């Protein structure tokens, strides 16, 4: 057995937190009979609060296991794989799986032929479950996996009507809090650079921007919205376009830190001072946000918690078989730095 990572909760710690015995926690994890419903709920709450991930390798599992799960990236644009979001998510998922005895397999699926090929691979028992990220609107792969009864958890959602299990950040609330902060700072000519609008996360961040303006009695103007693909290059182009349309812009919310970094470059090239002339807020809070000039105010996504929650939901589906789909939305936090 490998050494336990510092900070990784143990079965004993869950038991202490729930004020029950170690055996009771084990029975709850294994969905065994003989546990009162109130006790079961108490243990499940402790597991949730501590972020405990069961060690499947230490348990006797019914049926054949591959002891592997697939992380499937469905992003058709190869440039996106260079963005910090992908590496951060992969790291958080790998950390969450460290003590489970389960291998994380990275797979790229970008075409219908690749979707079908992956489905047959997964149905062949080569993986026990699937983690999906960067799923765009209309992607059929989650439906195909659900129809094949393969345990599946999405990072984000395809729409507000998503039925497959997912973990998401509160994108609407995060964007709303960012724009509300700009408004409290006296900014009134606020623009936004969105992500690709066939991603539901980008739609939600745009909605949060709109809601914050509406709550302040300001009218939403489509000309103050520019779309990007989350890259720095697209952020530069979008910001230059917005300045040309509206020279009076005094604030901007960018849908990612990378996009915001590109926007900062465009503002500098246009002779605009940040934050004196234009305040800039990003979204993610990766290490990049502390390397920009000035350092970036941003909406922090709880990446570690997202990884733990995705793994927890997937392990539950793998253990319990057919279960009701679970939806988890995690809170964001506005981190104030020098760009505002």
φ/ψ of residue 67, rounded to 5? 55, 40
Statement to judge: residues 191 and 280 lie in one domain: yes
From first to last of its 340 residues, the chain has per-residue pLDDT tens of 333 444 567 778 888 998 888 778 877 776 665 678 888 888 888 888 887 766 554 443 444 678 899 999 887 765 556 678 888 899 999 999 988 889 999 998 989 999 999 999 998 888 999 999 988 898 999 999 988 889 999 999 999 999 999 999 999 999 999 999 999 999 999 999 999 999 999 999 999 999 999 999 999 999 999 999 999 999 999 999 999 999 999 999 999 999 999 999 999 999 999 999 999 999 999 999 999 999 999 999 999 999 999 999 999 888 876 556 789 999 999 999 999 9
Residue 116, both tokens = 């079908």
Domain that holds residue 176: 171-300
Same domain, 131 and 180: no
Q: Do residue 179 and residue 296 come from a single domain?
A: yes
Let me know whether 77 and 186 are in one domain: no
- Structure token pair of residue 150: 């393969």
Q: What is the CATH number of the domain that holds 154?
A: 3.40.50.2300
For 169, 193, 210, 255, 338, the CA distances from 286, given in Å and listed in that order, are: 15, 18, 25, 13, 15
176 occurs within a structural domain? yes
Answer yes or no: do 28 and 96 share one domain.
Answer: no
Q: Are residues 38 and 109 in the same domain?
A: no
Distance separating the N- and C-terminal Cα atoms of the chain: 48
Are 175 and 153 in a shared domain? no
162 burial class (0-12, 13-18, 19+ CB within 10 angstroms)? middle
Question: Domain total for the chain?
Answer: 3
The C-alpha angle 298, 300, 305, rounded to 5 degrees, equals 170
How far is the C-alpha of 14 from the C-alpha of 8, rounded, in Å? 11
The model carries a pTM of: 0.79
Domain CATH code at residue 23: 1.10.260.40
Could you tell me if 199 and 294 lie in one domain? Answer: yes
Distance of CA 302 to the CA centre of its chain: 8
Q: Is residue 335 part of a domain?
A: no
Phi, psi of 87 (to 5 degrees): -65, -35
Q: Please indicate, yes or no, whether residues 222 and 292 belong to a single structural domain of this protein.
A: yes
Same domain, 213 and 242: yes
Q: Is residue 58 part of a domain?
A: no
Task: Please say whether the beta carbons of 250 and 188 come within 8 A.
Answer: yes
Could you give the CA distance from residue 252 to residue 160 in angstroms, rounded to a whole number? 26
């Amino acid at each position: 057995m490998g050494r336990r990572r510092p900070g990784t909760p143990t079965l004993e710690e869950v038991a202490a937190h729930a004020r029950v015995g170690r055996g009771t926690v084990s029975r709850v994890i294994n969905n065994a009979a003989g546990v009162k419903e109130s006790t079961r709920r108490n243990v499940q709450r402790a597991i949730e609060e501590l972020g405990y991930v069961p060690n499947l390798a230490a348990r006797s599992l019914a049926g054949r296991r591959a002891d592997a799960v697939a992380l499937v990236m469905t992003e058709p644009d190869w440039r996106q794989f260079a963005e910090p979001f992908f590496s951060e998510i992969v790291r958080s998922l790998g950390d969450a799986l460290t003590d489970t005895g389960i291998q994380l397999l990275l797979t790229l699926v970008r075409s219908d032929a690749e979707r079908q090929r992956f489905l047959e691979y997964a149905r062949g028992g080569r993986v026990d479950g699937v983690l999906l990220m960067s799923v765009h609107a209309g992607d059929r792969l989650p439906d195909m996996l659900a129809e094949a009864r393969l345990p599946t958890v999405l990072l984000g959602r395809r729409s507000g009507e998503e039925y497959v299990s997912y973990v998401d950040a509160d994108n609407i609330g995060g964007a709303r809090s960012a724009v509300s902060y700009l408004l409290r700072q006296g900014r009134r000519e606020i623009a936004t650079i969105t992500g690709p609008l066939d991603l539901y996360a980008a739609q939600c961040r745009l909605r949060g921007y709109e809601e914050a303006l509406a709550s302040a009695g300001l009218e939403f103007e489509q000309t103050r919205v520019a779309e990007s693909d989350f890259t720095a290059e697209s952020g530069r182009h979008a910001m230059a376009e917005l300045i040309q349309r509206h020279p009076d812009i005094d604030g901007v919310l960018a849908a990612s830190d990378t996009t915001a970094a590109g926007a900062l470059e465009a503002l500098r090239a246009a002779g605009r001072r940040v934050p004196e002339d234009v305040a800039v807020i990003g979204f993610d809070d990766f290490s990049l946000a502390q390397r920009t000039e000035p350092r970036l105010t941003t909406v922090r996504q709880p990446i570690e918690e997202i990884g733990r929650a995705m793994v927890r939901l997937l392990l539950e589906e793998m253990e319990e078989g057919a279960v009701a789909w679970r939806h988890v939305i995690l809170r964001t936090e506005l981190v104030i730095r020098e760009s505002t």
